[in-house]
């Protein structure tokens, strides 16, 4: 059997696919938690890119960037889930279409 070696392009394709899934998820889903998870997918696509490129260039900048992204995403998750919780307490729903207090 013949195996193609895994090249940076394969990583790029994977990351692009993941990113697209994330973007489409944000567009079509209505549950706030799912929306948030889709956004996390986008971040992970970014991380794959960064790490793959770091390997390609054989330096550590991309990996450091990825670590920052992971850390910041964690912080965002903490804050975001807090906000979502407060919303749930007020409204008893997680459907984004229920947000209708402000119009115009």
Tokens encoding 35: 């929306």
Q: Which of residues 36-95 bind another protein (CB under 8 A)?
A: 36, 39, 42-43, 45-46, 49-50, 52-53, 56-57, 59, 61-62, 64-65, 68-69, 72, 75-76, 79-80, 82-84, 86-87, 90-91
Does residue 20 contact residue 54 with C-beta atoms inside 8 Å? Answer: no
Residue indicated by tokens 């550590």: 60
Contacts of 24 (CB under 8 A, 6+ apart): 38
The enclosing H or E element of 23 equals helix 8-28
Q: Considering the complex, what minimum distance in angstroms separates the CB of residue 71 from another protein? A: 9
Q: Which residues contact 37 (CB under 8 A, 6 or more apart)?
A: 25
User: What does the binding site for another protein look like in residue numbers (CB under 8 A)?
Assistant: 8, 12, 15, 19, 22-23, 26, 32, 35-36, 39, 42-43, 45-46, 49-50, 52-53, 56-57, 59, 61-62, 64-65, 68-69, 72, 75-76, 79-80, 82-84, 86-87, 90-91, 96, 99, 101-102, 104
């Amino acid at each position: 059997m013949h195996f193609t070696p895994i090249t940076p392009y394969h990583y790029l394709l994977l990351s692009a696919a993941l990113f697209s899934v994330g973007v489409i998820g944000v567009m079509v889903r209505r549950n706030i938690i799912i929306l948030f998870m889709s956004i996390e997918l986008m971040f992970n696509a970014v991380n794959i890119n960064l790490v793959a490129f770091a390997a390609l260039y054989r330096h550590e900048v991309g990996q450091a960037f990825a670590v920052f992204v992971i850390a910041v995403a964690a912080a965002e998750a903490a804050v975001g889930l807090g906000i979502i919780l407060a919303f749930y307490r007020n409204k008893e729903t997680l459907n984004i279409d229920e947000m209708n207090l402000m119009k115009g």
